[in-house]
Structure 1
Amino acid sequence: MKQKEDLSPVLLLLFHLMVCIYSFLAFLPSVFLSWVSRLDGDGICYGSEEDRAERMKACSEPGHPEGPYRAVRATKRLESTLHPGVHTLDKMFENAARRFPRRHCLGTREVISEEDERQGNGKVFKKVVLGEYRWLSYQDVLTAASQLGSGLASLGQRQKNNIAVFCETRAEWIIAAQACFMHNFPLVTLYSTLGGPAIAHGLNETQVTHIFTSRELLETRLKAILIEVPRLQHIIVVDDSPASWPGYPRDISVHNMAEVQELGARPENASRERKPPLPSDIAVIMYTSGSTGIPKGVMISHSNIIAGLTGMAERIPNLNEEDTYIGYLPLAHVLELSAELVCLAHGCRIGYSSPQTLADQSTKIKKGSKGDTSVLQPTLMAAVPEIMDRIYKNVMAKVEEMSCLQRTLFILAYNYKLEQLSKGYSTPLCDKLVFRKVRSLLGGRTRVLLSGGAPLSAITQRFMNVCFCCPVGQGYGLTETCGAGTISELWDYSTGRVGGPLVCCEMKLKDWVEGGYRSTDKPNPRGEILVGGPNVTMGYYKNGSKNEDFFVDQNGQRWFCTGDIGEFQKDGCLKIIDRKKDLVKLQAGEYVSLGKVEAMLKNCPLVDNICAYANSDETYVIGFVVPNQKHLLALADQYGIRGSCEDLCNSKAVEELVLKTLTEAALEAQLERFEIPRKICLSPEPWTPETGLVTDAFKLKRKELKTHYQVDIERMYGGK
């Protein structure tokens, strides 16, 4: 062992020498190739990171720091169509099927076997072995959607009458959606993790008579609330299921999706004339899972979605039929739906997955079997920051387990690549020798990662840029703007920003005096972000009191007041710096941004998730923390404390140790003393959409968290 340790400095010296020799030999070719690869379509070389950050992405009229800000390429007019003459979603897919009829469209992995695996703690996990992807072509999907739409019409579904989809992300979801778009049935989307009251509210508010769902959700969620949804008549089950469904009310018919397609394929039904939708017709009523209160249904027209897709497509270079996208986020979320629709518009293929089967190490994949990314090898992928943070922490945990030599080599390579990226150069040797294994976690072919749903930490973004050898496009958008707002240019490697406005919209800053944000602030204008353009949706369904966040200007353009606080920087990039609803005034008058506190402390390796909380009647902030189990056990072991994760989370001594670590991290992140949580509560169980404590995009549900931890809040505030 000692001999190996003695060899370490020699090997490190050899590594440095190899890098120097490689850099010298490859300097001129790499400079030339990098210069060529850094040219955009206009023949512009982006150069170093400083050069990239200085190049204008968006601008406002001189003397108007409040905006509106527009993308440089959209200074004359906002763009709203992907293809000439294609203004509705049915036409968009028909156009793609005409251009790419035999190309792979939607893919699903075959389930070879399933088995229960008992863990050491007595818990049982279901493990699966999956085969290859089976594909439907674009023509197959178009035919299936057409037949399904005709079958629904035969079951009494009428144009402009709402129809719901309450289902996990899968190929049948998109086929059902395309059927509804073709026949002008407004599609009501509901998250598969919503609770019974929220599901019943959405179905009753939209007066749904027909619904798509899966066998599992029907049995575990929907069946229990059928008595509360009197208008529901037809349930269409999307997966393989029994021929008959005993135990359901007589006035409700349960159908298999294949049967409804067969019904629609009959000559008398297939020949029935359909009236296609207009661009102004509602395509989707999307119920947000919301961080507070009852879910709201956002009305989204065909033209709204087409405009949003137009803006997104412009930021993804060379998007074409050779691309493969992996779909695993909830399709009821605007990020995933928009990402899949923009891929379908360009002839890409979409392979379906789930968070439990995504990678070889995912919870449902049997040890030794391949996860979905390994088999599909996607080139495009969307992710929420929660998932990217998890990948980052898992990889760094493995780095910590490496030998001293391996860890040092990894860090050297990481820092070397960071330096080269800042100069605008590529690092093919490091990519091949050091980062290939990390890159293979996502299949090894990923060329674009799109992050949305919440701000992505600078540390995680840098890590993904370096280790996965591809750009990360960080974006900003809301359901109310079709998910479209901003996406960073993929050649801009700066962190902590979300890019400039897309070509489909423009943005303004509105002064928020109470929070101390004004468009006249120096060095950069700040204020509440307002988004305007053809992608701004039609408002909330039957919820007039909430529609005050929408307004129409003197030119007839719709705007949405986001409630987010932003800052426009000199190059036209937007930085999200606060949120109005997250601002709490303490008893002594200090304002605390809970979101800011959480974003800073989530960078601490000891933290898997955190919710900051403050009561205006109190003088200090408290917090609920889901600790990283591995780091928590290591911290406790360091002080001679033993026990399970649950025991440690209930230990006062461990709580104090974690608080001390968090306080040090907060001071290092330059949080003010009054912003740092003074007391914390540790949670051994992670917060997932299934627990009801976070949304499907993993945003905190503050109201539910407050209720869940009410006893702990009273304890931490001394019984008040």
Structure 2
Amino acid sequence: MPGDLFRSPVIIAIVVAVLIPLVATIFSYNKKPKLRSVEVKVGGEAGHTRRNHRFLSLIETPWEGANTLAALFEQACSKYPKRPLLGSRTLIKSETEVSKDGKKFEKVTFGDYVWITFDQAFQRAQNTASGLVALGHDKEEKIAIFAETRPEWLIALQACFRQNFTVVTIYASLGEEALAHSLNETEATTVICDVKQLQKIIGMSSHLKTVKRVVCMDEENQRLDTNLSGKTNWNVSSFSQLEKLGRDTPSEPRLPAPEDLAVIMYTSGSTGMPKGVMISHANIVSTVAGVMTAVPELNHNDVYIAYLPLAHILELAAEVTMLAVGASIGYGSPLTLTDISNKIKKGTKGDVSVLRPTLMTAVPAILDRIRDGVRKTVDAKGGAAKKLFDLAYRRRLAAIEGSWFGAWGLEKLFWDALVFKKIRGVLGGRVRGLLSGGAPLSADTQRFINICFGIPIGQGYGLTETCAGATFSEWDDISVGRVGPPVPHCYIKLVNWSSGGYLVTDKPMPRGEIVIGGPSVTLGYFKNQGKTDEDYKVDERGMRWFYTGDIGQFHPDGCLEIVDRKKDIVKLQHGEYVSLGKVEAALSVSPMVDSIMVHADPFHSYCVALVVPSQSYLEKWAKQSNVQYKNFEELCKNKEAEKQIVQSMAQVAKEAKLERVEIPAKVKLLPEAWTPETGLVTAALKLKRENIRKTFADELKQLYE
């Protein structure tokens, strides 16, 4: 029957795909590009400097009186006492599964989120602070927090601030040598850790010169054994014991001043030993003030999923911003984030499905995995479902890259309801916006998230040395490849890098090294005055500036784009320059590439690459091509597989308009994923280039033979 025909979703989709563009053409209009930052005159080295378009001067605090992290926390708890602040899931069961090749995997089943309110969190922080005093921690000593992201991490941090103790933050994935360096350099006397990290520091206790006390966070269904006789002479107690001690022996708070040192944050740097960045209370508070203006309608009804390392400035700034506005923070982990995450028992719910967050922060590697997971699911369905998805995706992509009306108007509502509603459920179904930081986000992934999840991505740019966000793309800006205008708490300046050919006089856009100035610029590197003097400058007006080493250009509307990195540029044998980071960012878009490091030897005329291929995509290709293999490791040694990866990268390289010399001539496929635990990437999943070069020195040598 004709009526039945027009009830078919595919037919309806085709009809709408024809009709709605006609309506969009009638109603769409070309808006004049919005000015998002303005040029400003400042002190220091000459260059091209811009500030946010909405504020005449830099902002330093979110509201009057909130000039330290301790004050901000106390005032937020006073304003939102009964609202839920920190949530974590109850563990129901943990079991071990064995795969066909004999590998063992832990699988967990979690229950619902259990919450503590703002006033409960404040009281726990008070008790913990008093407990630390009762344990004997002196005001001049440093406390290290060495644990995975969880509610006790933030409570411990705020407890330290109640007594003006400086906190040393260390990535849980840091290797033993770097861990010992961080603890010994800061002469930390107290370490607050979780059970997993406790075992790590006990094993290396002979290398820790100043540690006297260890506080271990409690684990469900697991009693802490504090009897370490013969292993260390430390005073070891549980977090719950510490809180009880503080409750029984309360101490008056000793609150910090804005200029006091809040955190020494050890970055899991991509080269050498980690450096400790000295961050004051005023530094972090100014970042919070700026970010609060950048996220539209940020308020106490928001729910934030916390799973990135709190020892990373991106996550720390995000969580402090959330508590400042009264939002709820639910904790998870990268391995339990979604229903199909590696550690989640099949058939049970991941963190986002239960929490249903409204806001989320992610590094590009996480977003790439979400993109690949959705594509894999769609490809597996095949048939009419895949055709409908492909049609919807093409129409939405054309609309976003076309008119404003098509991007956010009727057609978006139609495709969201027909195709993308179920996909949005992957992140819980309520996410209204997402912040990406830590590394460049590919245009392909950004568009995929925009389309399939129907949400804007605020791509940010900043460093530990600038206390995270220095720029933040506004949510009505649907362009890709840019990191937005300066956030209202800092200036962005471009200065000439003549030897690299980047000048502020370049047309049509000024280019140069990115220099960041303002109240969020940190105090320097701990016990490293030489490196501090090299990277930080104070101008004649007293403003601090940080020289990033990144190369940027300002678009006509005032948005910044990162185009290069001074340290990543290699000159090949015949004089051509290759920007390794730029090439890696372009090639990582390939669905067949999970991780990639491009290597260029200046004594040769071409570059090569180490590639961890996407296992699902490569095995799918092998099945379609009738390529026989016993396991993934054997498949990675297959020459035809190498050719397929090279062809895939060549295609995306062409689309990214890379030069011939920038495209790797040879590749080596590696079967094992690069994780922070392997020491090959940082906790933010940035490449540790030197570690990878050393680990795979023989493979790189063979690629040039």
Match of 1:89 in 2: 69
Matched, 1:275 2:254: yes
Match of 2:540 in 1: 554
Structure 2 CA distance for partners of 1:322 and 1:650, relative to 1, 3 Å:
same
- 1:146 partner SS: helix
Q: 1:232 aligns with which of 204, 211, 218?
A: 211
- 1:623 partner SS: strand
Match of 1:434 in 2: 419
Structure 2 alignment gaps of length 5 or more? none
For residue 681 of structure 1, report the CA deviation from its aligned partner.
0.7
Amino acid at match of 1:526: R
For residue 170 of structure 1, report the CA deviation from its aligned partner.
0.2
Matched, 1:397 2:359: no
Measured against aligned partners, the alpha-carbon deviations of 1:478-511 in whole angstroms (never above 9, x if no partner) come to 0000002000001111111000000000011111
Structure 1 outlier segments of 4+, above 6 Å? 7-11, 21-28, 62-65
Measured against aligned partners, the alpha-carbon deviations of 1:42-74 in whole angstroms (never above 9, x if no partner) come to xxxxx86x637x100001149999321000112
Match of 1:34 in 2: none
Distance (whole Å) between structure 2 residues aligned to residue 257 and residue 711 of structure 1: 47
Structure 1 alignment gaps of length 5 or more? 1-6, 32-46
Measured against aligned partners, the alpha-carbon deviations of 1:520-568 in whole angstroms (never above 9, x if no partner) come to 1111011100000000000000011211100101110000000000000
Distance (whole Å) between structure 1 residues aligned to residue 61 and residue 341 of structure 2: 39
For residue 420 of structure 1, report the CA deviation from its aligned partner.
4.1
Amino acid at match of 1:16: I
Q: 2:444 aligns with which of 459, 468, 473?
A: 459
Distance (whole Å) between structure 1 residues aligned to residue 40 and residue 283 of structure 2: 26
Matched, 1:377 2:317: no
Amino acid at match of 2:474: E
Distance (whole Å) between structure 1 residues aligned to residue 432 and residue 13 of structure 2: 28
For residue 296 of structure 1, report the CA deviation from its aligned partner.
0.2
Structure 2 CA distance for partners of 1:319 and 1:657, relative to 1, 3 Å:
closer
Amino acid at match of 2:316: L
For residue 260 of structure 1, report the CA deviation from its aligned partner.
0.9
Match of 1:119 in 2: 99
Structure 2 CA distance for partners of 1:243 and 1:65, relative to 1, 3 Å:
closer
Q: 1:540 aligns with which of 496, 506, 525?
A: 525
Structure 2 CA distance for partners of 1:541 and 1:419, relative to 1, 3 Å:
same
Structure 2 CA distance for partners of 1:232 and 1:524, relative to 1, 3 Å:
same
Q: Which moved more, 1:61-70 or 1:594-603?
A: 61-70
Distance (whole Å) between structure 1 residues aligned to residue 614 and residue 90 of structure 2: 34
Matched, 1:510 2:495: yes
Distance (whole Å) between structure 2 residues aligned to residue 308 and residue 193 of structure 1: 26
Aligned pairs for 1:347-366 (under 5 A) are 347-366=326-345
Distance (whole Å) between structure 2 residues aligned to residue 333 and residue 314 of structure 1: 22
In 1, are the aligned partners of 2:205 and 2:232 still within 8 Å (CA)? Answer: no
Structure 2 CA distance for partners of 1:25 and 1:503, relative to 1, 3 Å:
closer
For residue 588 of structure 1, report the CA deviation from its aligned partner.
1.1
Amino acid at match of 2:596: I
TM-score (norm 2): 0.94
In 2, are the aligned partners of 1:65 and 1:525 still within 8 Å (CA)? Answer: no
For residue 405 of structure 1, report the CA deviation from its aligned partner.
2.0
Distance (whole Å) between structure 2 residues aligned to residue 104 and residue 140 of structure 1: 9
Match of 2:586 in 1: 600
Q: 1:244 aligns with which of 201, 222, 226?
A: 226
Amino acid at match of 1:17: V
Q: Which moved more, 1:609-618 or 1:406-415?
A: 406-415
Match of 1:523 in 2: 508
Match of 1:703 in 2: 690
Amino acid at match of 1:582: D
- 1:588 partner SS: coil
Match of 1:70 in 2: 51
In 2, are the aligned partners of 1:381 and 1:449 still within 8 Å (CA)? Answer: yes
Measured against aligned partners, the alpha-carbon deviations of 1:229-283 in whole angstroms (never above 9, x if no partner) come to 12101000012332532345452111001111111111xx31x333210000011
In 2, are the aligned partners of 1:66 and 1:525 still within 8 Å (CA)? Answer: no
Match of 2:699 in 1: 712
Q: 1:312 aligns with which of 283, 291, 313?
A: 291
Q: Which moved more, 1:630-639 or 1:126-135?
A: 630-639
Structure 2 CA distance for partners of 1:222 and 1:713, relative to 1, 3 Å:
same
Distance (whole Å) between structure 1 residues aligned to residue 375 and residue 348 of structure 2: 23
Measured against aligned partners, the alpha-carbon deviations of 1:648-688 in whole angstroms (never above 9, x if no partner) come to 11223432332233234323432111111111110001111
In 1, are the aligned partners of 2:17 and 2:395 still within 8 Å (CA)? Answer: no
Measured against aligned partners, the alpha-carbon deviations of 1:91-145 in whole angstroms (never above 9, x if no partner) come to 1011111011011010010001111111111111111111111101000010000
For residue 13 of structure 1, report the CA deviation from its aligned partner.
3.7
Amino acid at match of 1:687: W
For residue 310 of structure 1, report the CA deviation from its aligned partner.
0.9
CA RMSD in angstroms comes to 2.1
Q: 2:672 aligns with which of 681, 685, 689?
A: 685
- 1:659 partner SS: helix
Match of 2:468 in 1: 483
- 2:236 partner SS: strand
Match of 1:336 in 2: 315
Q: 1:291 aligns with which of 263, 266, 270?
A: 270
Q: Which moved more, 1:613-622 or 1:240-249?
A: 240-249
In 2, are the aligned partners of 1:449 and 1:472 still within 8 Å (CA)? Answer: yes
- 1:73 partner SS: coil
Q: 2:552 aligns with which of 551, 566, 581?
A: 566
Measured against aligned partners, the alpha-carbon deviations of 1:364-394 in whole angstroms (never above 9, x if no partner) come to 1111101110100000100000010111112
For residue 629 of structure 1, report the CA deviation from its aligned partner.
1.2
Match of 1:129 in 2: 109
Amino acid at match of 2:247: A
- 1:83 partner SS: coil
- 2:286 partner SS: helix
For residue 223 of structure 1, report the CA deviation from its aligned partner.
1.3
Q: Which moved more, 1:462-471 or 1:409-418?
A: 409-418
For residue 224 of structure 1, report the CA deviation from its aligned partner.
1.4
Aligned pairs for 1:567-646 (under 5 A) are 567-643=553-629, 644-646=631-633
For residue 21 of structure 1, report the CA deviation from its aligned partner.
6.5
Distance (whole Å) between structure 1 residues aligned to residue 473 and residue 680 of structure 2: 30
Matched, 1:80 2:66: no
Aligned pairs for 1:189-200 (under 5 A) are 189-200=169-180
- 1:665 partner SS: helix
Q: 1:257 aligns with which of 239, 247, 257?
A: 239
Matched, 1:468 2:453: yes
Aligned pairs for 1:56-67 (under 5 A) are 56-61=35-40, 66-67=47-48
In 2, are the aligned partners of 1:509 and 1:566 still within 8 Å (CA)? Answer: yes
Q: 1:16 aligns with which of 14, 17, 20?
A: 14
Amino acid at match of 2:499: E
Structure 2 CA distance for partners of 1:247 and 1:682, relative to 1, 3 Å:
farther
Distance (whole Å) between structure 2 residues aligned to residue 652 and residue 457 of structure 1: 28
- 1:485 partner SS: strand
The total of aligned residue pairs comes to: 688
For residue 348 of structure 1, report the CA deviation from its aligned partner.
0.4
Distance (whole Å) between structure 1 residues aligned to residue 146 and residue 697 of structure 2: 31
In 1, are the aligned partners of 2:587 and 2:652 still within 8 Å (CA)? Answer: yes
Amino acid at match of 1:327: A
Amino acid at match of 1:552: V
For residue 638 of structure 1, report the CA deviation from its aligned partner.
4.3
Amino acid at match of 2:646: L
